[in-house]
Amino acid sequence: MTEVLAYAIALLVPAFAFYLIHALDLFKTSKATTILACALWGALIAYPLAMVVNGGLHSLIGYALVVSLTAPLVEELLKALVLLYYTRQPSFHYFVDGAVYGFSVGIGFAMTENLAYVSQTPSLALAIARVLSTSLMHAMASGVVGISLGRLRRARTPLWPLIGIGSAIAVHIVYNNVVNRLTGVSLLIVAVTIGIGGAALIALQIIIGLRQEKEQFSRTLGLQIDVSPGEREAIQQLGGASIEAILQELRGTFGEENVVLIRRLLITEANIGILENNLTLCLVSARLRDAWEAEIALRQSESHTIRQQMERSVLAYLSNLFPTRDKAMWDYLQEQLAVYDPTMVHTFDLFMRVSELAHRFTPTQLEAMAERLSRIDIFRNVSMADLENLSRAIEVEQFNDGATLFDQGDEGDAMYLIEAGEIAIYSLDSGHHERHIRTFSAGQVVGDFAVLDGEKRSARARAQGDLSVLVLRREVFQMFIQSRPQVIIAVLAVLAERARYTTRALEVTIQSLSRIAQGDYTSNPPTVTAPLEVPAVTEIPADVPSRLQRSLARFTSLLQAREQAVS
């Protein structure tokens, strides 16, 4: 019975260590097959080989010297062979994996050694003490060797990794020299000390390793103090390429799936930071502040969700790489992300922080401008908070009577909302003579579609009387909406409604025209139902289809009369 128990302990304790590695999900990046191969190497190859070598040395230099000096050296080297192999594989990226592989070799080795020991000493108390201490010692020593070899691949100098390997061998030597002189409780104390010491060594290696990685990434980002201003500028000119470089490296370490999450997390965190800066730095209405606070709360829960989807090892790595308290790093990261992935980052708010456009309006003025924007058709579904935020970038411009706002063929780069005065629109004929088409007056808008599609101006616009306009640049508007899908969806809803109406009008018109072509003036023309909501302010006239229908009806009766006159 005692014997069975001793064997069970000899096997179950190391097995429990394996279970811990798996259950804690600490190092998800390592491969299960590699862990197994390492354990098998330790149990079936390294241990028997060590016995052969130790036996040979035994007859050469004597038992005492083997146990106290050469056995630790031989055993650590034999165990390390497989680690040397795996840490050199192209698929090996994350140095912490080296520790996991090291544990596995050590535990595998200890399993076989325990079985051999228990078969000779069927004393339960000794078996427990011995099994615990040996398993811990082998696991920790090889763990330190593994992480050291792992770091050897990335570290700039091999100093720390070599110290790690040396200390593992030293611990093993010390252990071998005390283990046979101790029994029971004191042996257990030694075992626990070795366990804690080994764990501390590994932790130290991880901390130093991560710090070096962080330095490396900081250098990539151009943040390192020891980088000269010139170098830093050169790196910054690469713009988002540096973020791309970091993500590319992380892709190798953690795999595509985690990098997608990392990217989303970085963007979410960057947006939270940007909105928090908004709250501290911007003078806006309570309504907009509330909206920002609500969005921060939403993004924080988003960030929480992403973190939950991430593996713990990735999170630990990230919190070292991008610590939340490092504000300078985050501010810089925000800008970098805005360049690298402008579509999701609140670039508009970043821009408003540095632009000369910032802080020109009081909260009351902003609210009044938002109110004016909300009357423009394309903005009628957009929230007032969003419109107020957008209003921060509005420019107020004055034009003298007759001055040109834009010319036919110019890029459609801005929208003009008339405060006072009028805008006259002229088309130019081949001889560059102006033909007056329309006049827009106060409260009306010119170029609302230009901010959406950037189409070239189809006509010339000039001030009629002294003109004061609110200008919204297309560039700024696009920057604003790129990270605000709710605004895009609100604008799309209005556009879809209008597109539906004009498309239907087009179809009905084509049918009317072919009916006239066939000389059919009698059948009722199909009607087009106008959108239920009366279109608000817009440059593209919404009443064109209904005007056309009236013209078609008049034209049809005219033709009918004419044909009767001919026949």
Partner 1 sequence: MTGTTEDLRRFAMFKTISTADLEALARLTRRRQIARNALIFRRGDPGEWMMLICAGEARIFLNDEQGNEITFRTLGEGQILGEFSLLDHKNRTASAAANAPLDVLVLQRVDFLRLLQERPVVGIELMRGFAERIRYATTYLGRLNEALERLSNSEYEEAIRDMALSTDEAGMQALINTFVAMVHSLQERLPSDPKK
Shortest distance in whole angstroms from residue 373 CB to partner 1:
16
Judged by CB, which is closer to partner 1: 25, or 520? 520
Q: Where does this chain touch partner 1 (CB under 8 A) — which range of 70-78, 283-291, 368-376, 449-457?
A: 449-457
Integer Cα distance of 565 and 562 in angstroms: 5
Q: What value does the CA radius of gyration of the chain take, rounded to a whole number of Å?
A: 38
The yes or no reply on residue 12 touching partner 1 (CB under 8 A) is: no
Q: Where does this chain touch partner 1 (CB under 8 A) — which range of 69-77, 152-160, 185-193, 480-488?
A: 480-488
462 φ, ψ (degrees, to nearest 5): -130, 150
Task: Report, in this order, helix, strand and coil percent for the chain, each rounded to 5.
Answer: 70, 10, 25
Task: Please choose, from the candidates 96, 99, 86, 107, the residue with its C-alpha nearest in 3D space to the C-alpha of residue 39.
Answer: 107
Shortest distance in whole angstroms from residue 325 CB to partner 1:
30
The yes or no reply on residue 268 touching partner 1 (CB under 8 A) is: no
Integer Cα distance of 180 and 185 in angstroms: 13
Q: Where does this chain touch partner 1 (CB under 8 A) — which range of 11-19, 47-55, 147-155, 554-562?
A: 554-562
The yes or no reply on residue 559 touching partner 1 (CB under 8 A) is: yes
The secondary structure of 345-395 as a DSSP string is S-HHHHHHHHSTTTT-S-HHHHHHHHHHHTTBGGGTTS-HHHHHHHHTT-E
Shortest distance in whole angstroms from residue 482 CB to partner 1:
6
Structure token pair of residue 269 = 């965190």
Binding residue for partner 1, selected from 120, 228, 237, 343, defined by CB under 8 A: 343
Q: How far is CA 127 from CA 103, 117, 138, 146, in A?
A: 21, 8, 16, 27
- Identify the helix (H) or strand (E) that includes residue 68: none
Task: Please choose, from the candidates 123, 120, 127, the residue with its C-alpha nearest in 3D space to the C-alpha of residue 13.
Answer: 127
The yes or no reply on residue 409 touching partner 1 (CB under 8 A) is: no
The yes or no reply on residue 565 touching partner 1 (CB under 8 A) is: yes
Judged by CB, which is closer to partner 1: 91, or 518? 518
Judged by CB, which is closer to partner 1: 223, or 270? 270
Integer Cα distance of 239 and 222 in angstroms: 10
Shortest distance in whole angstroms from residue 26 CB to partner 1:
31
Judged by CB, which is closer to partner 1: 83, or 450? 450
DSSP 537: B
516-545 residues near partner 1, rule: CB under 8 A: 516-519, 526, 529, 540-541, 544-545
Binding residue for partner 1, selected from 478, 521, 530, 536, defined by CB under 8 A: 478
The yes or no reply on residue 38 touching partner 1 (CB under 8 A) is: no
The yes or no reply on residue 458 touching partner 1 (CB under 8 A) is: yes
Shortest distance in whole angstroms from residue 28 CB to partner 1:
25
Shortest distance in whole angstroms from residue 295 CB to partner 1:
13
Judged by CB, which is closer to partner 1: 234, or 496? 496
Residue whose tokens read 């609140």: 346
Judged by CB, which is closer to partner 1: 196, or 561? 561
Q: Where does this chain touch partner 1 (CB under 8 A) — which range of 23-31, 82-90, 190-198, 488-496?
A: 488-496
The yes or no reply on residue 452 touching partner 1 (CB under 8 A) is: yes
The yes or no reply on residue 410 touching partner 1 (CB under 8 A) is: no
The secondary structure of 245-293 as a DSSP string is HHHHHHHHHH-HHHHHHHHHHHHHHHHHHHHHHHHHH----HHHHHHHH
The yes or no reply on residue 271 touching partner 1 (CB under 8 A) is: no
Shortest distance in whole angstroms from residue 515 CB to partner 1:
9
The yes or no reply on residue 484 touching partner 1 (CB under 8 A) is: yes
> Do the beta carbons of residue 385 and residue 288 sit within 8 Å?
yes
Interstrand relation of 404-406 and 460-473 (parallel, antiparallel or unpaired): antiparallel
Judged by CB, which is closer to partner 1: 51, or 493? 493
Q: How far is CA 208 from CA 96, 213, 371, 448, in A?
A: 11, 9, 56, 57
3-state secondary structure of 430: coil
The yes or no reply on residue 551 touching partner 1 (CB under 8 A) is: yes
Shortest distance in whole angstroms from residue 505 CB to partner 1:
6
Integer Cα distance of 80 and 83 in angstroms: 5
Shortest distance in whole angstroms from residue 524 CB to partner 1:
9
Instruction: Provide the residue type at 379 as one letter.
Output: F
DSSP 540: S
Judged by CB, which is closer to partner 1: 33, or 564? 564
The yes or no reply on residue 453 touching partner 1 (CB under 8 A) is: yes
491-520 residues near partner 1, rule: CB under 8 A: 491-500, 502-511, 513-514, 516-519
Judged by CB, which is closer to partner 1: 195, or 525? 525
Task: Measure CA 377 to chain center.
Answer: 35
The yes or no reply on residue 48 touching partner 1 (CB under 8 A) is: no
Judged by CB, which is closer to partner 1: 101, or 449? 449
> Do the beta carbons of residue 373 and residue 448 sit within 8 Å?
no
Shortest distance in whole angstroms from residue 470 CB to partner 1:
20
The yes or no reply on residue 547 touching partner 1 (CB under 8 A) is: yes
For CA atoms 374, 378, 380, 385, give the dihedral sign.
Answer: negative
> Do the beta carbons of residue 105 and residue 146 sit within 8 Å?
yes
Which residues of this chain interact with partner 1, rule CB under 8 A?
Answer: 343-344, 449, 452-455, 458, 478, 481-485, 488-489, 491-500, 502-511, 513-514, 516-519, 526, 529, 540-541, 544-545, 547-548, 551-552, 554-555, 558-559, 562-563, 565-566
